[in-house]
Amino acid sequence: MTDLELQDEVRGRIFARLVAAGIRKIDIEAFELFEELEKPGPEKKFEDLFCDMIEWLEAEGLLRCGGLAGSALGLTTAHSCQVSSLGLALADQPFGQGGMTATEVAKGASTDGTDAYAKLGAFIGTAAGKFLSSL
């Protein structure tokens, strides 16, 4: 898995969790995502990517986050995260060849498995760029 592919999948998994929660605030643990991925690389490097991705999604206006914190065990958690109105608007936009939505991926309705998260992550990254360039 290349670094860009990993970024897409992590972005997609974070966004799917946010969409599944709706406007409720949730905590997202880096370790939980690390365990879901196939061979994402060294855990420390993954935690750095997780933190960077949360900060990027927040800067792009797709989520709100109460902050990132590490535990005594060194595990990072993003606290009180919730999807933004822009994120909710993107959640129902079809993407990919099958025309699935982030809401469908979050509900597990996709048959693409982990590939669905990578496709969702790529879509979110591209959509955020297009939206900001249209302003």
Q: What pLDDT digit, counting tens, does each position of 78-111 carry?
A: 999 999 999 998 888 888 777 888 888 888 755 5
27 Ramachandran zone, left/alpha/beta (phi>0; psi -120 to 50): beta
CA distance 51 to 96: 27
| Max mean pLDDT range (12-16, 34-38, 122-126) | 12-16
CA distance 135 to 129: 10
Mean pLDDT of the chain: 83
Quick check: 114 pLDDT over 70? no
> What are the strands, taking DSSP E only, across the chain?
26-29, 63-64, 67-70, 76-83
What's the DSSP call for residue 113? T
Tell me the average pLDDT across 26-52: 84
Range name among 5-19, 38-52, 59-73 with the lowest pLDDT average: 38-52
pLDDT at residue number 55: 95
pLDDT at residue number 25: 97
Residue spans per domain, the chain: 3-122
Q: Hey, which CATH number is domain 3-122, 1.10.10, 3.40.190, 3.30.1370, 2.60.40?
A: 1.10.10
